[in-house]
Amino acid sequence: MPEALTVIVPLYNEEENLKRVEKELSEYIKIAHVPTQVLFVNDGSRDNSQKIIEDICNSNPDFKFISFVKNCGLSAAIKAGFDHVETSLTGYIDSDLQTDPMDFNLLLDNLEGYDLVTGYRNNRKDSFVKNMSSTIANGIRRTFTNDGMDDTGCPLKVIKTDYAKRIPMFRGLHRFLPAMILLQHGKIKQVPIKHFPRMAGTAHFGVWNRLLGPLMDCFAYVWMKKKYINYTVGKKG
């Protein structure tokens, strides 16, 4: 399969951001290092997001969507995206565009020899509380996973699709994508990327989501690591 990229954009009540998402991802597609398309995953939005998504997709063949009947959470949205991607590479970016789609080329340039490349927000433009809770949560996850990643929750990633489709996703485990690739004996890398303040819309995560929730998820990851099935076929006939 020739290399091509599908960028998953999970969203929930992001009507204020979607036209900017269309504009910036359309600009990226023009200069992308591999052929690229976009897949919106509408996680049961209750605002006008679905109509805007349909308008975007009807006018631009590079944009597709799937829409949930009801809100299921970010992990479910990412999992649905993985399930529906048909290209060899899968990208992920949040609809708030606090990361720059142009940095997908930076991730792609670092992909050789790796199965996941994730961004690292080394100059985050978030509030003090948000930054501190994320720093603590990342430190806790590193202790449990030993994945060596400084910013596992960074919403800018490129993953080889065959690895992405084998990730056993559970609620909250979208924060553990690098560790999930390591469970498959894959190779991971992080590279510094740009980060911006949220321009519009409302963040859907508080201190519980960013700190206490991830701590609970670490125990789920440890259980999964002990139970995870991994095999390599030597011969078949």
> Domain containing 20 — which CATH number?
3.90.550.10
Q: Is residue 230 part of a domain?
A: no
Give 148 or 131, the one with higher predicted confidence: 148
Q: Tokens 């690292």 identify what position?
A: 120
Q: Is residue 197 part of a domain?
A: yes
Domain that holds residue 48: 5-125+150-201
Count of domains for the chain: 1
For the segment 86-106, the average pLDDT, to the nearest whole number, is 96
Q: Is residue 220 part of a domain?
A: no
Least trusted range by pLDDT, from 73-82, 121-130, 199-208: 199-208
Residues of the chain above pLDDT 70, percent: 82
For the segment 135-147, the average pLDDT, to the nearest whole number, is 68
How confident is residue 195, by pLDDT bands cut at 50, 70 and 90? confident
